[in-house]
Amino acid sequence: MKDVALVSKLAAQLYTYLGLGWRWTVSFWRLVAFSTLLMPGFIQMVVFYFLSPRVLRSVPYGLEARNRLDIYLPRKEWRRQGARPTVIFITGGAWTIGYKAWGALLARRLSQRGVLVFCLDYRNFPQGNALDMLCDVNTGIAWVLRNAAAFGGDGESFHLVGQSAGGQLGALALMMQVHQVQVQQPQVGAFPAWDPALIRGFVGVSGAYNLYALADHLHRRGLYRHLFEAIHSLEGKPKLRELSPTYQMRKLGAAVASRLPPILILHGTADKSVPMEIAVEFVAALREAGSPARLKLYKERTHTRPVVEDPMRGGRDELMDDVLSMVLGAECHNRQMPMLPSALIDLASWVCPF
């Protein structure tokens, strides 16, 4: 309940930045409709989240108010087989409405397949700016690397997964940690330090890798430029390029690319929040620097469909298969039972603001 109260308070503060702009208002009510249509599925997840003994909620990883994470333990039959591969998941939420429980659908399914999953919470704006978010993400990753073994994690198999804003934060944190090790000097966005060599792979899902290119696009969609620049400011000045993984990769080049783990970038071709060109450009920058990054485009998938609608629809969960294949190093194909009728999910997708 404390988490709910805090998020509600911050949402009220955020409203003062958004004001009564019509784009934001329309997006808000479309989000309400989207959530209402999918509510039967969300209720199933709420029951699992609060009642399953395999979910350890709000475990502290640092001293800040939102330095909490959720842990999804694999089923006992998996744990009896030995230490489990570990995924550190960084949720999205437009840097303003992110919450650790947003990763519950993917985390539940990965844990059912024997993966130990940690879902990080972190300060959102206006509680913190982008540098505060990076500090929280780095603190959370460092905590997991130190403590995963206590929950049955394999110290030789850590994978970082970030979705949307979490993709930008995760990619940037990883790159700056690698750069910090390379030059042996403190780097902005790499505090506290952790060993990037422990990360065996990075998966970015619908990630916002070029903030500079996204600023006008997101302004037209209701995330207004003054708010976007306030979020991504350092010492009071907007730093959209400096906080963009694409620009950093071009700047840091082969010295950092050669030390990065395998990278898989997943993106929907119908993503209206973060156009697929952002992912294509990031992968091109990685490859130009020497990283053998892989890109997979999901045909006709929107920003939310791989992480919300598709898992609820049942059948093949392509995102889960791709993440699991990356983690296990072998091709995986899984089919899931539907959580909701397809017609209801189609209607929700139609009204979704993302």
Give the three-state DSSP class for 15: helix
Q: How far apart are CA 108 and CA 110, in angstroms?
A: 6
Write the CA distances from 123 to 33, 69, 161, 280, integer angstroms. 26, 12, 18, 29
What does the DSSP 8-state code read for residue 75?
P
The one catalytic residue among 164, 244, 273, 291: 164
Concerning whether 303 is annotated as a catalytic residue, the answer is: yes
Contact 52, 107 (CB under 8 A): no
Backbone angles phi, psi at 101, to 5 degrees: -70, -15
Catalytic-residue membership of 310: no
Active site residue 322: no
Helices (H), 38-162: 39-51, 76-79, 104-112, 130-147
Residue 222: left if φ>0, alpha if ψ -120 to 50, beta else—which one?
A: left
Which of 179, 232, 267, 303 is catalytic? The answer is: 303
Which residue is catalytic, options 70, 121, 271, 317? 271
* CB-based contact 111:183 (threshold 8 Å): no
Looking at the annotation, which residues are catalytic? 164, 271, 303
